[in-house]
Amino acid sequence: MRQDAIAILGGTGDQGLGLALRFAKAGRPVVIGSRKLERAEEAAAKVRQEVPDGDVEGRTNEDAAARAPIVILSIPFEHFASTVKRIRDKLAEGQIVVSMGVPLATAIGDGAVRTVGIWQGSCAELVKTLVPDGVQVVSAFQNVSAHRLQHLAEEVECDVLVSGARAPRERVMALCALVPGLRAVDAGPLANARIVEQITALLIGLNVRYEVPEGLGIRIAGLPAGNSGA
Ligand X SMILES: NC(=O)c1ccc[n+]([C@@H]2O[C@H](COP(=O)([O-])OP(=O)(O)OC[C@H]3O[C@@H](n4cnc5c(N)ncnc54)[C@H](OP(=O)(O)O)[C@@H]3O)[C@@H](O)[C@H]2O)c1
* Beta carbons within 8 Å of 61's beta carbon, 6+ residues apart: 9, 10, 33, 34, 35, 83, 86, 87
Q: Residues 122-161 vs ligand X: string with x where CB under 6 A?
A: --------------------x-xxx---------------
- For ligand X, the binding residue among 12, 136, 163, 192 (CB under 6 A) is 12
**Dist CA 105 CA 12 (whole Å):** 22
60 binds ligand X (CB under 6 A): no
Quote the CA–CA distance of 182 and 188 in Å, as a whole number: 18
**Does 101 interact with ligand X (rule: CB under 6 A)?**
yes
What CA–CA distances, in Å, run from 95 to 25, 200, 213?
23, 26, 35
Considering the complex, state which of residue 173 and residue 196 has its C-beta at the smaller distance from ligand X. Answer: 196
8-state DSSP, 143: T
Beta pairing partners, 223: none
Amino acid at 183: R
On the CB side of 223, how many CA atoms lie within 13 Å of its CA? 15
Binding mask 204-223 for ligand X (x = CB under 6 A): -----------x--------
Q: At 31, phi and psi to the nearest 5? A: -115, 115
Single out the residue of 200, 201, 207, 218 in contact with ligand X (rule: CB under 6 A). 200
Which residue sits closest to ligand X, CB atoms considered?
A: 13
Please state the closest distance from residue 222 (CB atom) to ligand X, in A.
Answer: 24
Only segment of 19-27, 96-104, 129-137, 179-187 that touches ligand X (CB under 6 A): 96-104
Q: Contact region for ligand X (CB under 6 A) — 30-38, 90-98, 154-162, 183-191?
A: 30-38
Taking CB under 6 A as the criterion, the residue among 6, 21, 34, 91 binding ligand X is 34
Element of type H or E holding 41? helix 37-50
Site residues, ligand X (CB under 6 A): 10, 12-16, 34-36, 39, 74-77, 79, 83, 100-102, 142, 144-146, 200, 215
